[in-house]
Copies of this chain bind each other. A is one copy, B any other.
Amino acid sequence: MGRWEPNAQLRLMQAALELFDERGFDQTTAGDIAERAGVTERTFFRHFPDKREVLFDSSRTMERTAHEATLAAPAELAPLDAALVGVTAGAAMLEDRREYAARRARIIAGHPSLRERELLKLAALAATIAQALAERGVAEPVTTLAAESAVTAFRVGFERWTAAGPAGRLADRIAEAAAALRELAG
């Protein structure tokens, strides 16, 4: 099994998605996922604390990327623009994984406890962007309002991106949602 280990995490994520789709989240165990991925259950638990976490493993990477990009955005950018730079950078890791992201979103939508978890992750994403804005010298309530608005643009853009044909870019859908948000608030 050793020679497969380098890709174990990705294979476990793919296997989990397939099984959640086929049997449902509740009917799938960590052991089932390990078996489908061709690794031991012990290997599963070396990578993930439980089967729910398989779906949320990338969230922390996305948060970290969004935080850094918000901080590094040009100093002259307004708070909402800096927050949008952050959220778009965080979303970049999804660009070549549209099929995976869409299936994941469908599974989450069908299960209240997964929806709760996803909302908590999105709240954490907004909080980390707000934190980065504060480090840029922006004060409340603008930090929270800008971060929440950027995450709303991400959510709406993401939904359109996964619903549309595979040709489009998530970054463009987020920019469109942000433009619509500005228009509606203006």
Taking the complex as formed, is A160 at the interface, i.e. its CB lies under 8 A from any CB of chain B?
yes
A138 — nearest CB in chain B belongs to which residue? B184
* Given contacts A112-B120, A160-B141, A181 and B185 within 8 Å (CB-CB): yes
Q: How many copies does the complex hold?
A: 2
Chain A: interface secondary structure? helix
What residues of chain B lie closer than 8 Å to A123, measured between beta carbons?
115, 119
Number of contact residues on A: which range applies?
20 to 34
What residues of chain B lie closer than 8 Å to A149, measured between beta carbons?
149, 152, 181, 184-185
A141–B156 touching, CB < 8 Å: yes
What residues of chain B lie closer than 8 Å to A116, measured between beta carbons?
116-117, 119-120
Taking the complex as formed, is A177 at the interface, i.e. its CB lies under 8 A from any CB of chain B?
yes
A58→B144 CA distance, assembly (Å): 25
Write the A30-47 contact mask toward B (1 if CB under 8 angstroms, else 0): 000000000000000000
